Amino acid sequence: MAAYGNYATAAEDKPASSLPVAEATAESASSPESALDRRLAEEREAARQRFAITTHKPNYLLFTYNASANDRFEQLDAAEIKFQLSLKVSLAEDLLGGDIALAYTQVSFWQAFNSDISSPFRESNYEPEIMWRWVRPLRGDSLYNRAVVLGFVHQSNGRSEPLSRSWNRIYLNLIFEYQNLYVSVKPWYRIPEDPKTGPTDPSGDDNPDIADYMGYGEVTAVWVQGKHRVGLMLRNNLDSNSNHGAIQLDWSYPLGNKMQVYVQYFNGYGESLVDYNHSVNRIGAGLMLNNWL
């Protein structure tokens, strides 16, 4: 669901007519407002402000334990701080029936307790993207395709060889809603790059086999039950001969009006770019500023 943006629950309801939908209908006006509708209304209201920036993916800080740290390049502690910053700004509204937005996400892994190697930021991944989003009004209680998002995303870790990692993708994100369940089906296409001429070549493909571990898309689901938010992310390369994938489980619950307690579990490949081909088994708990819904 990341490409679609954050679906944080609004403090108060917004009218359905303020949503950036492809068409207004009497049916949508009479439909009950969902968590997704409230988030869309918030984003449209913010877009009218000259310098408004909204959240995109969840923003959080976690104290984590990784049972399978990658010690290939340096001796790492299993305990690590992980945090994510994700913001979005609207560029244009009602363009070809949809809206255009620019987003930036950064996720960092900090060896805060590893004084033996001066407590460095072990890895940071930088992810700018641009997206076009088309939204439909909700109709009935059946599983319904609420939105289509088409985007381009670059992701890299800004490091030199041999730790440099990067790739560019075009993605299609289909958002479905059914009562309190929200599902994102997000296939992507990796834009090919020229091969490197040698191991120290700064140009060329840093990670030609990344799709073997990250796959060709992901499915994300968020279930809203009262104030609880439960999330599931699945990736797989769909290769029975050399199968790789990942699963992430999330749970959050609000602490007052501005914070949420957040627990995240990740198992598999591709949690970070430097470890895209190393299986990670991480559990973390901490605070979140905003969730998907």
Catalytic residue set: 154, 156
DSSP character for 292? -
Distance, CA of 41 to CA of 9 (rounded, Å): 10
| β-sheet bridge partners, residue 291 | none
Q: In this structure, are strands 259-268 and 166-178 parallel, antiparallel, or unpaired?
A: unpaired
Q: What is the DSSP string of 22-42?
A: S---HHHHHSPPPHHHHHHHH
Taking Cα atoms as reference points, which of 206, 211, 204, 165 lies closest to residue 190? 211
Distance, CA of 88 to CA of 217 (rounded, Å): 22
| Site of tokens 């395709």 | 145
Q: Taking a C-beta distance cutoff of 8 angstroms, is the pair 154, 165 a contact?
A: no
- CB neighbour list of residue 26: distance below 8 Å, 6 or more residues apart: none
Half-sphere exposure of 253 (CA within 13 A, CB side): 5
